[in-house]
Structure 1
Amino acid sequence: MFDRQKKGDRAVLVLPHSRGEGDTARRAAEFAELVKSAGAEVLGVISARVEDPNPRYYIGSGKADEVAEAARALEADLVLVDHVLTPVQERNLEKHLGIRVVDRAGLILDIFAQRARSHEGKLEVELAQLKHLATRLVRGWTHLDAQRGGAIGNRGPGETQLETDRRLLAERVKMLTKRLEKVQTQRGQQRRARLRNTVPRVALVGYTNAGKSTLFNALTTGEVFAADLLFATLDPTVRKLENLSCGPAVLADTVGFIRELPHDLVAAFRATLAEARDADLLLHVSDAADEERERLHRVVDKVLEEIDAGDVPQLHVMNKIDLAGAEPRIDRDAAGKPVRVWLSAATGVGLDLLRQALGELLGGDRVQSSLQLPLSAGRLHARLKAAGAITGETVDEHGWQLRIDAPRSVIAPLSGGNAAETRLLRELLAPAE
């Protein structure tokens, strides 16, 4: 056994791969970006062929010896493994190498812990880390075997440090879960309030390096922080999107996705990708020049389902057509509805087509009209105002002259007044029916 070091970021990378695996070079580059985002210094890289995983180390015992020798020669502080290890495998590797071992799941959790800014995000990332740690309390540290006792009043079998850690961790998980339930209740109340917002919400989603932030900057006047790091920020950036035929919308740039996200981290994604879950439309950005784009598209869809955003309508954006040699265009379904836009965010080619498609998709279910209300319809006026459906109004002795701009789903439920108010709302909704 050994005393686990707590500091140090000089790392040796271990890249397991199998014969039937896809682009190993791409995966290795992606893992290197994760390591860079975590702030570690890469001292060396060791590739390991794994056809039949070793239950003790995952990699073979000979390869484990090679990693140990490299770590000693390079004076590394830790070993980062590009695969999810079982608690026993992680413990055995640490014992064999004599230094810390962090698998892919632990590395991503560490990055999220560094990047979380919102209160809910911090709570959920901590909860994910604790659930991950709970499976790692398998006596990988020498002090966990020590029993309490020895002094007067403390003698007897007592409980081991391992049992104490498990109990304290379970109590912390229980407390965080209760806090998150309270935050989720508050989020539900905020979500109901957002239903009164007439401005459509659009969220950018996609695999990392698909060009989401470049597209965001091209569509809006604001500049998104664009560091050469995965998960540079977990807090979405929101800007107003104008020059659409349907009127203004709100555009949010969310965190990029990546393969093999830790299961415990899906909860954290529920906080950081709230903009995607609550959006009226998702712009699913893909790299048109990437040969694996269809597989990566499925990775993103899988994560969207896990965060309860799988039912949100999508418009697929094929970015980087300048690299793919494709032409800008809009692909439509049998009903003529836009389903895919081909463009280049870097050069600006095709951005007008994207705005056109957004106008069609967001404006098709909105009510944009004028409404004359008599003074006797004060209750209906109040409901329309509370729903945020009124964008302009004048009043005289005859009543209110209103300009209405709101989703049909917001206006339709307001017809619970008297017969006269119901008739007025039916006339308002009729042109779009």
Structure 2
Amino acid sequence: MGEETLDQAVTPVWVLHPDFRNDRNRRDPDFALEEAVSLALAMPGVDVVGSDVVPVPKTRAGWLFGKGKTEELKQLFKTVKVDLVLIDGPVTPVQQRNLEKEWGVKVLDRTGLILEIFSDRARTREGVLQVEMAALAYQRTRLVRAWTHLERQRGGLGFVGGPGETQIEADRRAIDEQMVRLRRQLDKVVKTRALHRKSRAKVPFPVVALVGYTNAGKSTLFNRLTGAEVFAKDMLFATLDPTMRSVELPSGKQVILSDTVGFISELPTQLVAAFRATLEEVLDADLILHVRDISSPLTEEQADDVRQIMKDLGVPEDAPLIEVWNKIDQLDDNAKEGFTSKAEREENVFATSAVTGEGLDALLEEVSDKLTDPKTRREITLPFSDGRKRAWLFQEGLVENEVQTEDGFVLSVYWTARQEKNFREL
């Protein structure tokens, strides 16, 4: 039977970036709008029919935009026949309700949009649960007390909540109960992952984590180095779950490479919390590769956002880190030469192209050097009952000499600090 070719319903979307003039931390509105459009395009089944920067000198509490601008946009959306308006910024529940009623379209703010994308992209069990938790936390804030009169109250038999409980309270309680259930499931998944991580720690392979702003090319680099087929596309949030693969470096050294979710400026607080567990791989990494899209005009701002999120996650400032200036293939010859020579002068910076492979040999050599731990000689005594530890030392090829005594074994070992740590944890 042949494949059915059904056209997916496409939603016409208009993207607005509110430019708050009195916000000292405001981003360049044109680039912010460009990123917002990229975010919108990452949503399944949408057609971005237009976009605008809307200057907001003063916010209207219940409306966000001024009266004239709200009316002007209403006429525009009616003419263009828009079904969904994405507002690249925070929108309060009251503002959302008022704008939807006035414009006759669905309105989604930046947090809602990112949640939609995350829910479409999450692949692992943990990723799915994290998204559901974040979505419920967001939904809970959207419960607007729209009605206070009696029709909004429901009677009851006293089994749940009691008579007179308002619908909004019932909705809130239902969400809270669902969040408790999800948290229990998530705890189980996180424990399982912690066990996997613990067992991986016993494998003497260092972990190298790729981090970077979303769409910096991490997954393309990951695929090139590992031969894996992680979903890599020129799209924001192409990867949402950490993917781990064992890689043999040109030096013969084995490492575990971890690809992580892309960071983004003004990441909603619910999502920073929700994806903290997903990003724990970064906290455990022996080396971090900060992948930057050096072709982006906002590369410095994006790098600052990544550094801030890593700081929020608790990554130590002195954590071993290499900056990978990626996408040099997208630069013109002059810019490419400038960035390449600058990277050569800087410490722990490499200019690369994950697409063409340029600069990757030098990067991998540095990764190998960074992960080659100095070794020390130690003499340790093990009782006869510690056969497992003794077997592990021989299995890892760390024993240089062994003498049997009345009390057990005296072994001369030659190992790295990491190998000693793994031995102590056995």
With the length of structure 2 as denominator, give the TM-score of the two structures: 0.80
Answer whether contact 1:207 1:257 (CA < 8 A) is retained. Answer: yes
- Alpha carbons of structure 1 residues 284 and 387: separation in structure 2 relative to 1, 3 Å: farther
**C-alpha distance 143-388 of structure 1, shift in aligned 2 (>3 A):** farther
The CA deviation at 1:345 is: 2.9
Note the 1:365-380 alignment, pairs <5 A: 365=374
- Cα distance, 1:77 vs. partner? 2.3
Q: Which amino acid aligns with 2:371?
A: L
AA aligned opposite 1:363: T
Unaligned residue ranges in structure 1 (runs of 5+): 1-6, 333-337, 418-433
CA separation of 1:184 and 1:412: change in aligned 2, threshold 3 A: closer
Q: Where does residue 287 of structure 1 map in the other structure?
A: 293
1:320 paired to 2:327: yes
For 2:280 and 2:203, how far apart are their aligned partners in 1? Answer: 16
Alignment of 1:71-90 (within 5 A): 71-90=77-96
Compared with structure 1, are the counterparts of its residues 339 and 14 closer, same or farther at alpha carbon in structure 2 (3 Å cutoff)?
same
Give the drift of 1:404.
8.6
Letter of the 1:354 partner, please give it: L
- The CA deviation at 1:18 is 4.2
Q: Give me the whole-angstrom Cα distance separating, in 2, the residues matched to 1:148 and 1:228.
A: 49
Structure 2 counterparts to residues 343-422 of structure 1, below 5 A: 343-365=352-374, 382-383=388-389, 390=396, 407-412=416-421, 414=423
Q: 2:16 aligns with which of 8, 14, 17?
A: 14
> Is it true that 1:341 corresponds to 2:354 in the alignment?
no
Q: Distance in 2 between matches of 1:166 and 1:149?
A: 17
Quick one: structure 1 residues 81 and 415, their matched pair in 2 at CA, closer, same or farther if it must change by over 3 Å? Answer: closer
Distance in 2 (alpha carbons) for counterparts of 1:160 and 1:388: 68
Deviation sequence 1:16-61 (CA, Å, 0-9, x none): 1245744322221211111111122223323311122221221222
Q: Name the CA shift for 1:331/1:279 in 2 (closer, same or farther; >3 Å).
A: farther
Find the aligned partners of 1:41 and 1:416 in 2 and give their Cα distance. Answer: 54
Match of 2:38 in 1: 33
- In structure 2, the residue corresponding to 1:270 is in which secondary structure? coil
Q: 1:115 to 1:217 in 2, by over 3 A?
A: closer
Partner of 1:429: none
User: Residue 146 of structure 1: CA displacement?
Assistant: 2.6
Q: Note the residue ranges of structure 2 that are not aligned, 5 or more in a row.
A: 1-8
* Cα pair distance change 1:388/1:287, threshold 3 Å: farther
In structure 2, what is the Cα distance between the partners aligned to 1:134 and 1:55? Answer: 20
Evaluate the alpha carbon distance shift between residue 48 and residue 228 of structure 1 in structure 2; reply closer, same or farther with a 3 A threshold: same
Query: In the TM superposition, what is the alpha-carbon distance from 1:82 to its structure 2 partner?
Result: 0.8
Counterparts of 1:390 and 1:142, CA distance in 2: 70
Moved more, 156-165 or 77-86: 156-165
Counterparts of 1:158-177 in structure 2 under 5 Å?
158-177=164-183
Deviation at 1:226, TM superposition (A): 1.8
> Aligned-pair distance for 1:13?
1.9
Contact 1:147–1:161 under 8 Å retained in 2: yes
Aligned residues: 401
Q: What is the rounded CA distance, in whole Å, between the counterparts of 2:424 and 2:156 in structure 1?
A: 75
Residue 129 of structure 1 deviates from its aligned partner by: 0.9
Q: Deviations over 1:103-145 (max 9, x none)?
A: 0011001111111122222222111111111111004699995
Q: Which amino acid is 2:104 matched to?
A: G
Is the Cα contact below 8 Å between 1:11 and 1:42 reproduced in 2? yes
Q: Distance in 2 between matches of 1:37 and 1:141?
A: 36
* Conserved? CA contact 1:137–1:166, under 8 Å: yes
- What is the aligned partner in structure 2 of residue 237 from structure 1? 243
CA contact (8 A) 1:389 1:406 kept: no
Q: Identify if the C-alpha distance between structure 1 residues 358 and 379 changes in structure 2 by more than 3 Å, giving closer, same or farther.
A: farther
Is the aligned partner of 1:226 residue 2:225?
no
Secondary structure of 1:79's partner?
strand
Q: Distance in 2 between matches of 1:415 and 1:233?
A: 36
Q: State the secondary structure of the residue aligned to 1:38.
A: coil
* SS in structure 2 of the partner of residue 226 of structure 1: coil
| Local SS of the residue matching 1:16 | strand
Structural mapping, 1:171-320, within 5 Å: 171-245=177-251, 247-310=253-316, 312-320=319-327
Give 2:340's aligned amino acid.
Answer: E
* Aligned equivalents of 2:150, 2:78: Cα separation in 1: 26
Residue deviations 1:219-252 (CA, integer Å, cap 9, x gap): 3333432223222231233333223437111212
Distance 1:296 1:286, change over 3 A: same
For the residues of structure 1 that align with 2:303 and 2:150, how far apart are their CA atoms? 44
Residue type of the alignment partner of 1:33: S
Q: Distance in 2 between matches of 1:416 and 1:128?
A: 35
The residue number in structure 1 matching 2:52 is: 46
CA distance 1:138–1:392, change in 2 (3 Å): same
- Alpha-carbon separation, structure 1, partners of 2:268 and 2:425: 47
Please give the alpha-carbon distance, in whole angstroms, between the structure 2 residues aligned to 1:213 and 1:184: 23
Q: CA deviation at 1:207?
A: 0.9
Q: Aligned ranges for residues 101-120 of structure 1 at < 5 Å?
A: 101-120=107-126
Amino acid at match of 1:105: T
Kept in 2: contact 1:331–1:341 (CA 8 A): no
What percent of counterpart residues are identical?
40
How far apart, CA to CA, are the structure 1 residues paired with 2:102 and 2:124?
Answer: 39
SS in 2 for 1:327: helix
Contact 1:344-1:350 within 8 A present in 2 as well: yes
Task: Using the TM superposition, give the Cα deviation of residue 264 of structure 1 relative to its aligned residue in structure 2, in angstroms.
Answer: 0.3
**Could you report, residue by residue, the CA deviation over 1:278-305 in whole angstroms, capped at 9, with x for unpaired residues?**
2211100113333432221110122223
> Retained in 2: the 8 A contact 1:198–1:407?
no
Q: Is the 8 A contact 1:17 1:24 kept in 2?
A: yes
